[in-house]
Structure 1
Amino acid sequence: MSQPVPASSSASGPATTVSRAHAPTSAELLDFVRGAAADPVLIASLPLDPEGRTWVRLGGPGGSEAWLIGWPPGTGTGWHDHAESVGAFATAVGELTEHSLAVRLPADGWKTLELREDVDRGRKLGAGQGRAFGRHHVHEVLNASAAHAVSVHAYYPPLPLIRRFSRTGAVLRLEQVERPEDWQ
């Protein structure tokens, strides 16, 4: 397993510490995020803000994109997907809640979808717990607890875009498409 290390920016782009010999699977990404989440020195290196989420980019396995993220109580991502990327995340400190949809969304050509009644899934992930997911996985992650949480996330290929959604009952609406330059 690759060691997670903070990545730095330079004129040639983000630093990585791994080879790009093969595309990592979601299972390999899950192993990576679990290992990184268990590293107390790495976790302690994240500056925490009581008001908003904080993050540090990490070097991930096989050219993947990885992030160490701090979650104050009450913060979350909103509904989104990671397009063509597979991914994984693990909670290092505290507890996160994931709500997801057991449905594959069309890649393009829609603004509003009506969801079936049986597509909602939910799980709580405490310290040391993680999960992997495939392409087009629609979810929201939140810290519904009263304490700060910290997690590690990895995606391959590096995120080409994130689609953000709003949800009212059974209606899911595409609201925004973000590209890497929007969040880096």
Structure 2
Amino acid sequence: MRAILAALAAMVLLAVAPLPARAQACPADSELAYICGVQKPEDVLRLADTPFLVSSGFTPGAGLKLVDTRRRVAELWFTGAAEQVVRDAAAWPQCPGPLDPALFNARGLSLSRLDDGKWRLLAVNHGGRESIEVFDVDLAAPRPRLAWRGCLPMPPGRWRTPSRALPMARSWRRC
């Protein structure tokens, strides 16, 4: 638990300064071990009983980061690779199409367990479109897997804060 709290504190501290174009060293000090690679984290969630965290990134292209608390490493989680795009048009027919990872600007996060043992991750997106992006998370592998399933677009010209948007999306049938 202490390692997770230290990782969260380090991500908050790193969020106040922009990352340079080149790799940044993150040496530990006497009290904290820092994690590089996160960009303006808005929300951080623990992925069930695993050593992994997911962090949002509130800047275009920052998207979602998978944080390994054992190795103290953060990496871009949703890259838009073919195996990460598994659209469920029947469950999310109003979604215009896959999420553009270059524009993905994640803010609010919500994680809930599905009936099949997998997890549903909702992320409020402000990049390219105002929407709630829907992901399935599989924790069975040594490294969690993420699959984009669809989205719930906000009406044109309007966007919702996480506190209003996520409960609305959670009320949808868990497909």
Structure-2-length-normalised TM-score: 0.29
Structure-1-length-normalised TM-score: 0.28
Higher strand residue share: 1
